Amino acid sequence: MTDRKKKLRLIQSFLLIAGLFVIIFSYSDKRENKDKQIISKEVQKKVEEQLVAQSEDTDVFYNIEYSGLDLEGNRYILKAKEALKDKSNQEIISMFNVETKFFFKDGTILNVWSDEGTYNNKTLDMNFYKNVKGIYEGSELYAQKAEFSNSKSFLKVSDTVKLIDFRGTMAADELIFDIKKKTLNIASFNDNKVNANVNLK
């Protein structure tokens, strides 16, 4: 074999080995980046929060449902996609993605949704937080907080309250619905006025 052919084979071998190294490093680098991007920061944060929640002091439940009667004999169904129960306080259930239906004895139904909530399985009191929405007899209600007191038989809605009805719209600081008397009290604080737009027709 001539020197020229030897040099060509040597150069070809070197180029082949160099090409293989480039391919191997490129593939492994892409694979590492792909593995890094599979789990986003949001998902990682949620997993970490769930791991913290699943500590020895807390039980986690999914797709839970409670049903029963309040002290006035009205039926309710309370659902949540996720719930946490603190073992040191078994009465209070923390809930996420909450949906509730109240079936009143007069045949009417109140639907309530919220991002978060709590349920006291002893007193049957319920609290709803963040993006609270209620529908009752065609009326829509929006707020950031709602509180159902079983012992006092009222539903109090507060924090950026807005009511949309076929008769008009209203904004207030607080609404209190007395379940026994079927009355609605509207309140405004700090000398604010209740804003209402009523359709008289």
* Positive or negative: CA dihedral 33, 38, 41, 44: negative
User: How does residue 114 score in pLDDT terms, banded at 50, 70 and 90?
Assistant: very high
Global pTM reads 0.62
Q: Read off the pLDDT of residues 52-110 as tens digits, 9 standing for 90 and up.
A: 655 566 778 889 888 888 888 888 999 999 888 877 777 888 889 999 998 888 888 88
Element (H, E) at 49: helix 41-53
d(CA 15, CA 67) in angstroms, rounded, equals 74
Q: Identify the weakest region by mean pLDDT among 18-32, 37-51, 57-71.
A: 18-32
- Percent of the chain past pLDDT 70, that is, above it, reads 74
What does the block give as tokens for 52? 């913290």
Confidence check: pLDDT of 32 > 60: no
Residue with more model confidence, 20 or 107: 107
d(CA 73, CA 75) in angstroms, rounded, equals 6
Residue with more model confidence, 56 or 119: 119
Confidence check: pLDDT of 194 > 50: no
In this prediction, residue 67 carries a pLDDT of 87
In this prediction, residue 57 carries a pLDDT of 66
* Long-range contacts, 69-72 (Cβ 8 Å, 24+): 70/124, 70/150, 70/153, 70/179, 71/124, 71/150, 71/151, 71/153, 72/105, 72/153, 72/179, 72/180
The residue type of 171 is: A
User: How does residue 195 score in pLDDT terms, banded at 50, 70 and 90?
Assistant: very low
d(CA 186, CA 169) in angstroms, rounded, equals 13
Whether the Cβ atoms of residue 86 and residue 116 lie closer than 8 Å to each other: no
> By C-alpha distance, which of 133, 130, 165 is closest to 145?
130
Burial of 75 (0-12, 13-18, 19+ CB in 10 A): middle
> By C-alpha distance, which of 124, 128, 106, 105 is closest to 115?
128
User: How does residue 199 score in pLDDT terms, banded at 50, 70 and 90?
Assistant: very low
What does the block give as tokens for 65? 């449902």
| Mean pLDDT computed over 172-197 | 66
* Positive or negative: CA dihedral 63, 148, 129, 115: positive
Q: Read off the pLDDT of residues 127-178 as tens digits, 9 standing for 90 and up.
A: 999 999 988 888 888 889 989 888 888 888 888 888 887 777 777 778 888 7
